[in-house]
Amino acid sequence: MTALDTPAEDLARPAVPAVRITGARRVFAAELAPVRALRGVHFEVGPGEFVAVMGPSGCGKSTLLNVIAGLDTVDEGTVEVAGERVDGRDQDWLARFRRHRIGFVFQFFNLLDGVSALDNLVLPGVLGGMGRRAAESRGRDLLDILGLGDRTAQLPSSLSGGQRQRLAIARALVNRPGLLLADEPTGALDSEGGAEVLELFRRLHEDGQTIVMVTHSPEVAAGADRAVRMRDGRVVDDGATATGPTAAGSDAAESGAAGGPS
């Protein structure tokens, strides 16, 4: 019924996790000594799950999201998204994979500065294979839903921080990705803006969207199904205690599969 709730994935088979990472290692060359950003990470996200990733600065959270999105590669280990291996793929495969499977929300928005809010949504839509008109109407719908319906022609630089982040989220959703990745989406926002974004994520989650969100804030993390803790490039607590991923996930998956394309 809404534009939000239509992941392209077939999530009806709970057996396939949305994300599965095993033994992932990533070392960066640095001037003094190599930095081990990931040191054997095991990590799994069920379909329709909303997972928060927490941990001190520099522990590898962003790197983890980047390797899931194929923006970075692992040196060792495997990365699977919805049952498909992402590691070892070439750049172009990854680019196409991102178009439909991944929506990425960056900490600092990363919007295209020179083009209007609407065009920021149209460009990825067209990249993903939509026609210009289809992408435009999809963009307008998303902007309406995210409360930016009256800002279509404005440039990102003239929007507030919260508005910009909502625009970035809208952009991540244009191609109905199976997986939404968000790297500290509330980090650059004040508490009001943060609450706005979190509320949006909750609605998305209710509609069945699988979400992995990095955050520093315990309040924000509390909104997720489960919170994964990282330290020094490892997952130290995968948070699989309170709410089991399977129950919530499969419910959401069914509702997601039921909500047809808008």
Partner 1 sequence: MTFTALWLRLELRRRWRSLVVLALLVALAGTAVLASVAGARRGDTAVDRLVARTSPADITVLPNQHGFDWDRIRALPEVEALTTFVISSFQIEGVPDNSTGFAVADDANMRTIERPIVLQGRLADQARDDEVVVSAHFPGAFHKGVGDYLTIRLFTPAQVDTYVTGADPGAPAGPSIRARIVGVVRSPWYHDNVRDQGSVAVSAALYLNHRANFVGSTDQIYLNALVRLKGGEKTIPEFRADLARVSGRTDIDIWDNAELERHATRVNTFEGDCLLGFAGAALIAALFLVGQSVLRYTSATVADLQTLRGVGLGNRQALAAASAGPVIAALLGSLLGAAGAVLVSRWMPIGAAALYEPSPGFDVDWLVLGAGLVLTPLLALAGSVASAWLALASAQNRTAPRRSAVAVATARAGLPVPVVVGTRFALEPGRGRTAVPVRPALLGAVIGVLGVLAAFTFAAAVADAAANPARFGQTHQLESFLGLNSTDFGKVDPVLARIAADPAVTAVNNARIAVAESGDTSITTYTVDPVGGKPLSVVTVSGRLPQAADQIMLAPTSARALHAEVGSWVTLTGAARARREFTVTGIGFVPEGSHNDYDAGAWATTDGYRALFGTTFKFHLAEIALRPGSVTAAMTQRLQHEAAPLTGGQSIGLQQVTAPQQLAEIQDVQTLPLFLGGFLLLLAAGAVGHALATAVRRRRHDVAVLRALGMTRRQSRLVVVVQATVLALVGLVFGIPLGLALGRTLWRQVADSTPLAYHPPLALLTLLLAGPVALLLANLLAAWPGHRAARLHVGQTLRAE
Ligand X SMILES: Nc1ncnc2c1ncn2[C@@H]1O[C@H](COP(=O)(O)OP(=O)(O)OP(=O)(O)O)[C@@H](O)[C@H]1O
Q: Which does 104 bind (CB under 5 to 8 A by kind): partner 1, ligand X, Mg ion, none?
A: partner 1
Kindly give, in sequence order, each residue whose CB lies less than 8 Å from that of residue 86, ignoring residues fewer than 6 positions away. 67, 68, 70, 79, 80, 94, 97
- Helix boundaries (H) for 26-116: 61-69, 91-101
* Residue 62 engages Mg ion in binding (rule: CB under 5 A): yes
Which of residues 42, 85, 132, 231 is near partner 1 by CB under 8 A? 132
Which residues touch 54 (CB under 8 Å, ≥6 apart)? 61, 214, 215, 216, 218, 221, 227, 228, 229, 230
Site string for ligand X, 41-80 (x = CB under 6 A): ----------------xxxxxxx-----------------
Binding positions for partner 1, 48-77, rule CB under 8 A: 62, 66, 69, 71-72
All residues at 6 or more sequence positions from 222 whose CB lies less than 8 Å from its CB, including other chains: none
Number of residues that bind partner 1 (CB under 8 A): 36
At its nearest, how many Å lie between ligand X and the CB of residue 229? 11
Please report how the helices 161-173 and 132-145 are oriented relative to each other, as an axis angle in degrees rounded to 10: 130
Residues that bind partner 1 (CB under 8 A): 62, 66, 69, 71-72, 91-92, 95-100, 104, 106, 108, 110-115, 119, 122-124, 126-128, 131-133, 155, 157, 171, 175
